């Protein structure tokens, strides 16, 4: 077969896409994918705002300075002409888009891919509600788009994590979207902060997944106006192949967790070794989104179809480091093979039960943080460690929700989607993880971390290995001394009270 047999390429031929979230990890990969493999696409409009003293055009140029676009620079000279900026801001009413730009979008856009979201787990409810408001405003604007063929909302597999079994359907929200937005607009932020625990009701892991569930509900009636779909990727990590092998540009969520452990900043974790780690590569996520858009456009269903993209359930691995061939054991072996040169301490990165983890957090995070700040105070430097570890431990606590709870996902729609794709589409838009070799993939991830995040040299120096080995000895020596002193302390009191 030739590439001309790709049905997905054909559906995007001479079409215009409006993309939100273009500056994010997934957004950059999506732009690169469209420009690379959908060569006949007509236009990509990306929503950009001014930020940190830079206008949208300056930020637009910065996007394409990223290494993930290097291959395009060598491939053709006019690829950037297919991408245009729409000045706007997801936090503003109706995305802050000018009337002139609205006219352009309404007359030209054929596909909307809504990636934009504040993905921080520790954000306030007021900020998280912007995820809902942005989706609501974009859906409203989309009603006036003349030739809209498909609207795809990219959510998260954990948007309904209050359920242990998650179906490929839109669930009822914990609160109606209109009521949430009314509360956010009408209440003082301090009042809203005090209300947040009651709204989350100890069921919802964080404000992010709470807001995504409500955002999804907005899509329920979208098909009255245009074909629509929701794609729910799970834990998004480095690319397998595109735009570059191991590509990564952020340290959010589990990515920050892995890097924090590798550097020795994070030394204890709360988790369950038997819980599944639903990891999916970013380029596979992009391919699944584009395939879902193709299928949605083709079928034009009267209901919004949901795709739980978790990489196929039977191909998942466990978090545990004690189970051969799982996430932790792969990372641990690669840690010794390619340690970061700027590591500050040794960390075995083991999961612990809740109580054991709390003890280790106090011993390995809190006490060292106070010692570091005491030293900094003595030499006249600003203290930073206690505040930094307070933030780290807060995020780790939020992440532990997902590393201690098993989820069972329906994935019939994703499997059907893969089955319906022809061989060309399976080659160009691969998202099947059936043949993915985890060991090779995690090697690619670590190389990506070193190249794009920690900026380590390709070859590990002898000095780095010596540092790691020294820190490991010191780490276990400190623990041994502590438990010895604790034993002596307990025995002293036991003997004192027993003898008296």
For the chain, domains (ranges, CATH) are 3-248+278-316+407-437 (3.40.50.720)
Class of residue 171 by CB neighbours under 10 A (exposed 0-12, middle 13-18, buried 19+): middle
pTM comes to 0.89
pLDDT surpasses 60 at 195: yes
pLDDT confidence tier of residue 160, bands split at 50, 70 and 90? very high
pLDDT of residue 320: 59
Please give the average per-residue pLDDT across 245-252, as a whole number.
Answer: 84
Distance CA 161, CA 145 (A): 33
112 CB neighbour count, 10 Å cutoff = 25
SS3 (DSSP) at 267 = coil
CB 196 within 8 A of CB 438: no
Phi, psi of 153 (to 5 degrees): -95, 125
pLDDT confidence tier of residue 324, bands split at 50, 70 and 90? very low
pLDDT confidence tier of residue 428, bands split at 50, 70 and 90? very high
What's the mean per-residue pLDDT of the chain? 87
Residue at token pair 């979208």: 222
Instruction: Tally the residues of the chain.
Output: 500
CB 33 within 8 A of CB 72: no
Name the most confidently modeled range: 14-18, 66-70, 457-461. Answer: 14-18
């Amino acid at each position: 077969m030739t590439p001309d047999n790709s049905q997905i390429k054909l559906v995007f031929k001479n079409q215009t896409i409006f993309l939100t979230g273009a500056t994010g990890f997934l957004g950059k990969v999506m732009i690169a994918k469209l420009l690379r493999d959908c060569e006949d696409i007509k236009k990509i409009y990306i929503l950009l705002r001014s930020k940190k003293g830079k206008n949208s055009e300056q930020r637009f140029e910065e996007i394409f300075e990223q290494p993930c676009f290097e291959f395009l620079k060598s491939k053709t000279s006019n690829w950037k002409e297919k991408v245009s900026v729409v000045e706007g801001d997801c936090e503003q009413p109706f995305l802050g888009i000018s009337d002139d730009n609205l006219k352009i979008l309404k007359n030209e856009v054929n596909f909307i891919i809504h990636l934009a979201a504040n993905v921080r787990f520790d954000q306030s409810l007021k900020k998280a509600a912007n995820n809902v408001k942005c989706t609501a405003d974009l859906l409203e604007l989309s009603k006036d788009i003349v030739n809209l063929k498909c609207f795809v909302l990219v959510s998260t597999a954990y948007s309904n994590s209050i359920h242990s079994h998650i179906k490929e359907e839109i669930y009822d929200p914990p609160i109606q979207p209109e009521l949430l937005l009314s509360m956010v607009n009408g209440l003082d932020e301090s009042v809203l902060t005090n209300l947040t625990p009651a709204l989350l009701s100890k069921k919802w892991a964080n404000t992010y997944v709470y807001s995504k569930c409500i955002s999804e509900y907005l899509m329920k009636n979208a098909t009255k106006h245009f074909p629509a779909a929701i794609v729910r990727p799970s834990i998004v990590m480095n690319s397998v192949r595109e735009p570059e092998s191991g590509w990564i540009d952020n340290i959010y969520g589990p990515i920050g967790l892995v890097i924090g452990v590798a550097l020795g900043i994070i030394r204890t974790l709360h988790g369950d070794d038997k819980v599944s780690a639903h990891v999916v590569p970013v380029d596979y996520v992009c391919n699944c989104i584009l395939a879902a858009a193709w299928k949605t456009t083709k079928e034009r269903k009267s209901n919004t179809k949901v795709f739980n993209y978790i990489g196929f359930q039977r191909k998942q691995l466990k978090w545990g480091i004690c189970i051969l061939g799982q996430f932790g054991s792969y990372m641990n072996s690669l840690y010794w093979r390619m340690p970061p040169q700027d590591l500050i301490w040794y960390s075995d990165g083991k999961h612990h039960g809740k109580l054991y983890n709390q003890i280790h957090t106090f011993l390995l995070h809190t006490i060292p943080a106070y010692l570091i700040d005491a030293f900094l105070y003595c030499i006249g430097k600003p203290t930073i460690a206690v505040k930094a570890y307070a933030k780290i431990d807060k995020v780790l606590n939020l992440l532990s929700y997902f590393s201690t709870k098993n989820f069972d996902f329906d994935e019939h729609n994703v499997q059907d989607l893969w089955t319906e794709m022809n061989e060309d589409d399976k080659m160009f838009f691969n998202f099947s993880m059936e043949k993915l070799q985890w060991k090779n993939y995690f090697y690619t991830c670590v190389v990506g971390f070193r190249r794009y995040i920690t900026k380590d040299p390709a070859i590990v120096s002898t000095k780095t290995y010596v540092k790691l080995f020294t820190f490991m000895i010191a780490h276990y020596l400190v623990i041994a001394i502590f438990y010895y002193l604790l034993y002596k302390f307990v025995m002293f009191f036991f003997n004192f009270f027993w003898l008296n």
